[in-house]
Amino acid sequence: MEFLNPAALYALALLPLLLVPYLIRRRPRRLFFSSLLLLREFATRRSARPWEKMYLPPIFFLQLILLALLLLALGEPSLSFRPVSVALVLDNSASMQAIEGEKSRFQLAQDEAAKILSALPAHARVDLYIVVPRLTRVTEESLKPGEAIARLNSLGPLDLGEADIDYGAEFERLVGERKYQRLHFLTDHPAEGQSASVRVVTLGRPKANLAISAFQIARRSLASPQLEARAIVRNFSATEQKFKLALKGNGNLLAGRSYSVAPNRSVEAAFENIPWRPYYEAEIDAGDGLALDNRRFAVPPPQGALKILAVSPRPEGLSSLRAIPGVELQLVSPEAYEKGNFEPHALEIFHYSAPAVLPESHALFVLPPKQNPLVEIGTALSRPTVSGWREPHPLTRYINFALFRPAYARELKPGGLGEAIIQSPDGPMAVALEQKDFRYLALGFDPFPFLGRQNLPMSIFTLNLLDWFNEGRTGNASATGAPLAAQLRPGEMVLTPTGEKIALEKTSTVFARTYVQGIYRITGGETEKFFAVNLGDERESDLREPPVIQLRSEPGAASNRAFYASLWPYLLLTAIALLLLEWFLNPASARERPASEPVKRDDFRWA
Amino acid sequence: MLPAPFTAEFLNRLEVLRLRTRKDVLGNRPGAYSSPRRGTSLEFADYRKYSPGDDLRYVDWGIFARSDRLYVRLFHEEVDLFAYIFIDASGSMAFPSIKEKFAPACNLAMALGYVVLANHDHVRLHSLKDENAAASPFYRGRQRMRDLIHFVSSVSPAGALEPAPCLGNHLKHIRRPGKAILISDFLVPADAYQQGLNLLRAFNLDTSVIQVLSREEIAPALLQGELSLIDSENFSELRLQWDKTISREYEEKLARHNRELKSFCHQSGIHYSFYATDEDLGRFVLKTLPATGLFR
């Protein structure tokens, strides 16, 4: 037997309240009696009895049973036959690593799952599922309960967030497709609604948590060799939290500071002039529920100058860029670009030219032709003056747009992608787009001829855009579950944060098994490469109110009803029968027997 | 207006009754009750030597023939009866209600009173009630039944009763021995009612006792559970846990109390009767009391 609404069973704790009316009734009814001469002896005898203080008549126990039955009926007990086709879904997302007492939520889920499996008949068939990186079966074949318990122990939580799926609908589909008689989902999400086949076991309680939501190592400026670290710590609690943030480089402590963060707010910590290390780690010492998000990793941006590949039919127009410190310019013609295979550059500038598709790097389009993959080109502007701009934005800072007057400009049409950064009275002059970790900027004017003191706002704009592209040029960092973009060759080896060594046997451009947060090292090549992988889902850090799973009764699961019989109507009927019995045994008329009514003093009068 | 039980038929049947006395009484008029004084009734009492002047009709000539001595026959004097009806008017007589206990007791007293009045004897009612010693004048003749009712109606039960002092107050005003009928529930300690009854005996009254109890006192039907019972006389409070066991033990105690009363009356030459107020008054007066010897 199980309860579909187990929360109602907490109401059983209210049963002792039934004593209250009897305690209140302890003030006895006052009745007149002709003479107490013959009764005094009984009073003396009764007061000596120890149970006299708590006299509970038999009707009390009848009422107690009646109330208990009603509360049990509220719990909606159901008699279920032991299913033989069972799906066991384990939530192995990052939030299941939260500690509840001495065990993690995932360990509690394993224990609960083992209990469920132990209760199954020996011939039952069990399918194990996990929810991250996606809802998938652990084994191809169905397992016996004993085998499933053994397999269960080999599973562990991953440093991944859950996909946005409607579990109620997904389980409904799964039960319908695979004809499961029962599906158990062990998770930290609460559930609402009822389902004949799906049972959600909610583990864990709401907790306060601090999490490092972002950590980045970047250059201070375009030409600066100095690095600075920025970390954002978010407070997922209702109280102000204090913490100490430690910055480590290559495993050694570099700096540390104390901060406090308001409830539901974030605080940004910055460390300047940090030395170069192969990789960095930010860690907070909060003893909160989830340790995973108390650490975050980053690798420094590539050393050296900002390498720019400029594609232009008019290379002389770009020569002024060479004067900017920290910039390494390679000029090629559009024809050479189409034919050649160039090394990856930090930035590709298409000057009066455009590639067929958006390049896999940051790219700047200056007065591109009409056939370009980024924007539509409009007509030439009659008066290329600026009428509006995005603010605040890294591209528009420090610029006096009253003096920003390009000699020639064309109207750009973003066409749904990108946002207008600089507006003229006739249309946008600059459109920016961020897509797939790359930044793209299309300009309807050419800023480069004006570098230097001839047009200061235009020069500032040029430096801004180089800085903007340089900001996006951080180290190799990605979210857990996202593939690492790396040129992997046979003979190289990937060392994961768990210490696992994976030898590569063939050439690949990505490494996909990034389910654990930490530093991934690729060794065996010319240089050792470091990649930082961090938990990329802030929702996993919020342990206060996980989303509720909405369960529905499966319309097509009529066959399942054979395994399920609701008992609450019978309990209700029994309670009603007891109520009638109580009414029969203790009718109101008996309670108001005239003889037991107090005789008023007014009655002592001859009528 | 007579109370409900006093129908014409009931009154007619009462008129044929006459109180029985176990002692000689001192009346002041000729009547039907034996007096210790010698008189002219047909009931022989004694002989005495003839003295000059004695009525020759009473000389026993048979004795003179045998012994040659003159003796005259003496006869009892038959006088009328002085009856004293004492009604307990303490608070306990109002339990569970006046209609259920005190009114039946008063009806009983009036029935007895009517029997006395119908025989042209004297009757006087006394209400027994704490310090107040209310008593009616002597009534004689059927026409005084109205006064009897009026007196009874003026009595209301209240307060506590101590039989001996209360009876003592009444007896101070009784000059003539006669028949005393005490109507009470006798829910007082044994020594208290014994003192009272002994007092009546000491005044040479032929005493009868009628114990009156309501059904609620004989077999209380109280709700089970803890009760706080208040004494209807002195308003003292008693807490107890009422259940079937206590109820049964109470009934046994009451029966023992009644047996003690009856036993004391028997030993003291006092007539005893028991009247449960839910019993029919006519049946009790016309059947039970003659059977127990109160009427002849």
Q: Which CATH number characterizes residue A109's domain?
A: 3.40.50.410
User: What is the rounded CA–CA span in Å between residue B197 and residue B207?
Assistant: 8
CB of B161 less than 8 A from some CB of A: no
Q: Which residues of B touch A28 (CB under 8 A)?
A: 225-228, 239
CB of B88 less than 8 A from some CB of A: no
A13, A488, A507, A510 from A504: Cα distances, Å? 61, 7, 8, 11
| Contact state of B98 with A605 under an 8 Å Cβ cutoff | yes
B93, B239, B249: residue with CB nearest A28: B239
**Residue A348's domain spans which residues?**
306-471
User: What is the rounded CA–CA span in Å between residue B149 and residue B35?
Assistant: 30
Least confident segment among A211-225, A342-356, B92-106: A211-225
Report the chain A residue with the minimal C-alpha distance to residue B95. Answer: A34
Residue type, A174: L
Indicate if B93 and B226 belong to the same structural domain: yes
Indicate if A439 and A486 belong to the same structural domain: no
A33, A596, A607: residue with CB nearest B230: A33
| DSSP secondary structure code for residue A247 in this structure | E
Q: How many domains does chain A divide into?
A: 4
Report the chain B residue with the minimal C-alpha distance to residue A35. Answer: B231
Indicate if A484 and A414 belong to the same structural domain: no
CB of B57 less than 8 A from some CB of A: no
CB of A599 less than 8 A from some CB of B: yes
Specify whether the CB–CB gap between A563 and A81 falls below 8 A.
yes
Q: Which tokens in the block code for residue A202? A: 């909610």
Indicate if B65 and B115 belong to the same structural domain: no
Indicate if B189 and B269 belong to the same structural domain: yes
- Report if residue A245 sits inside a domain: no
- Report if residue A237 sits inside a domain: no
The pTM of the full predicted model, rounded to 2 decimals, is: 0.51
CB of B218 less than 8 A from some CB of A: no
Q: What is the dihedral of CA B218, B219, B221, B225, to 10 degrees?
A: 100
Mean predicted confidence (pLDDT) in A306-322: 87
| Contact state of B228 with A46 under an 8 Å Cβ cutoff | no
Residues B243-286: tens digit of each pLDDT: 888 899 999 999 999 999 999 999 999 999 999 999 999 999 99
* Average of per-residue pLDDT values in chain B: 90
Q: Which tokens in the block code for residue A124? A: 């039952």
Mean predicted confidence (pLDDT) in A168-176: 88
- Report if residue A229 sits inside a domain: no
Indicate if A406 and A458 belong to the same structural domain: yes
Q: Which residues of B touch A592 (CB under 8 A)?
A: none
CB of A593 less than 8 A from some CB of B: yes
CB of A48 less than 8 A from some CB of B: no
Mean predicted confidence (pLDDT) in A152-171: 89
Where among A424, A448, A471 does a domain terminate? A471
Indicate if A45 and A149 belong to the same structural domain: no
Residue A87 has pLDDT above 90, yes or no: yes
- Report if residue B120 sits inside a domain: yes
Indicate if A37 and A179 belong to the same structural domain: no
A475 pLDDT tier (thresholds 50, 70, 90): low
A600 pLDDT tier (thresholds 50, 70, 90): very low
Q: Which tokens in the block code for residue A16? A: 């002792």
In 3D space, the residue among A498, A536, A504 whose CA is nearest the CA of residue A519 turns out to be A498
Q: Which tokens in the block code for residue B189? A: 């300690």
Q: What is the ipTM of this complex?
A: 0.84
Q: How many domains does chain B divide into?
A: 2
CB of B249 less than 8 A from some CB of A: yes
| Contact state of A39 with B250 under an 8 Å Cβ cutoff | yes
* Average of per-residue pLDDT values in chain A: 83
Specify whether the CB–CB gap between B130 and B160 falls below 8 A.
yes
| Contact state of B99 with A42 under an 8 Å Cβ cutoff | no
Indicate if A453 and A360 belong to the same structural domain: yes
| Contact state of B99 with A607 under an 8 Å Cβ cutoff | yes
Q: Tally Cβ neighbours within 10 Å of residue A350.
A: 24
Q: Which tokens in the block code for residue B222? A: 């109280």
On the CB side of A261, how many CA atoms lie within 13 Å of its CA? 26
Where among A439, A471, A503 does a domain terminate? A471
Residue B151 has pLDDT above 90, yes or no: yes
Give alpha helix (H) positions in B68-189.
Answer: 103-118, 145-154, 163-171
**Residue B277's domain spans which residues?**
8-23+81-292
Q: Which residues of A touch B245 (CB under 8 A)?
A: none
Q: Determine the residue among A33, A54, A593, A599 to mutate to test chain B binding: the one whose Cβ has the most chain B Cβ atoms within 10 Å.
A: A33
Indicate if B70 and B158 belong to the same structural domain: no
Q: Which tokens in the block code for residue A184? A: 């158990």
In 3D space, the residue among B114, B58, B89 whose CA is nearest the CA of residue B183 turns out to be B89
Q: Which CATH number characterizes residue B129's domain?
A: 3.40.50.410
- Report if residue B1 sits inside a domain: no
Strands A549-550 and A484-488: unpaired
Residues A534-563: tens digit of each pLDDT: 998 888 999 988 889 988 765 555 444 445
Sequence-distant (6+) residues with CB within 8 A of A301 are A217, A218, A219, A227, A473, A474, A475
Indicate if A320 and A173 belong to the same structural domain: no
Residue A292 has a pLDDT of: 92
Residue A566 has a pLDDT of: 78
Indicate if A483 and A512 belong to the same structural domain: yes
Sheet bearing A209-219, strands edge to edge: A209-219, A227-236, A266-274
Residues A18-52: tens digit of each pLDDT: 887 777 655 677 888 888 888 888 875 554 555 55
A42, A47, A593: residue with CB nearest B221: A593
User: What is the rounded CA–CA span in Å between residue B93 and residue A501?
Assistant: 106
B183: which strand partners? B87, B210
Q: Which residues of B touch A607 (CB under 8 A)?
A: 98-99, 103
Tell me the residue ranges of DSSP E strands in A189-332. 191-192, 198-202, 209-219, 227-236, 241-249, 252-261, 266-274, 280-284, 295-298, 306-311, 327-332
Sequence-distant (6+) residues with CB within 8 A of A20 are none
B34 pLDDT tier (thresholds 50, 70, 90): confident
Query: What is chain A's length?
Result: 607
Indicate if B52 and B191 belong to the same structural domain: no
